[in-house]
Amino acid sequence: MIMAFDSLGALLSAMMYARKNRGKAAVALVTFVALIAFLTGMLGQFVLVVAVFAELALAFFLGEWQLRKVGIELVTFVTVLVGFMYGPSAGLVMGGVLVALHFVLARNLGAHLVYCIPAMALIGFLAGYGGAWPFGVAMLGVSLSALYNIVTGAIGTAMFGDFFEELVWSGTNFALNYALFTAVAPAVLAAVV
């Protein structure tokens, strides 16, 4: 009986500490989950979950800072990796849902949703057939990022007539995705295998 009260007291103390020190508690929780993921061989899945949360946080801050004219996003990276690792259906769903959430959190709602959501879903679907791609996930991601930016840039220019704005967004987006796919994607896949 005394041990139960001692455990309850320890739990309450830990909860009070976490409430007062949210940053430290968050770091401890992420470290603990990462350790469990590493020990159970689920590090790659953990990295993808962290990337999804990072994308959603990034979208929120882009909306707060009104940075909609530059192509900063992690949607393409996560979508291609999910499609590559889990198949066309998973890539299609991840691409469509994650880009929709990105637009909502970034408060970037407009006519571009009509073509951006299906285009990203298509990118995820195509990434699902990446196993047949002979050049690896880095070149697959770079190629699909280029395809997405060319298609959405052309449609955006045709719909809104602002070539320079589309060029800036697509150029910065492609540069970011090039860096992510060539530097980070192979390491994520190595962690999964």
Between 32 and 94, where is the model more confident? 94
How far apart, in Å, are the Cα atoms of 17 and each of 3, 23, 32?
21, 11, 16
Confidence of residue 1 (pLDDT cuts 50, 70, 90): very low
pLDDT at residue 109 greater than cutoff 70: yes
As a whole number, mean pLDDT of residues 94-121 equals 93
Q: Is residue 47 within 8 Å of 191, Cβ to Cβ? A: yes
DSSP type of residue 135: T
Distance separating alpha carbons of residues 52 and 190, to the nearest angstrom: 19
CATH 1.10.1760 fits 42-192, yes or no: yes
Per-state percent for the chain, helix, strand, coil, to nearest 5: 85, 0, 15
Q: Give 156-190 pLDDT, tens digit per residue.
A: 999 999 899 999 999 999 999 999 999 999 988 88
The tokens describing 164, both together, are: 């320079």
Proportion of the chain above pLDDT 90, given as a percent: 50
Other C-beta atoms lying within 10 Å of the C-beta of residue 119: 19
pLDDT of residue 25: 58
Q: Is residue 124 within 8 Å of 146, Cβ to Cβ? A: no
Question: Can you say how many angstroms the Cα of residue 23 is from the centroid of all Cα atoms in its chain?
Answer: 22
Q: Is residue 69 within 8 Å of 168, Cβ to Cβ? A: yes
How far apart, in Å, are the Cα atoms of 36 and each of 65, 171, 186?
35, 39, 22
Between 132 and 166, where is the model more confident? 166
Domain positions in the chain are: 1-40, 42-192
pLDDT at residue 26 greater than cutoff 70: no
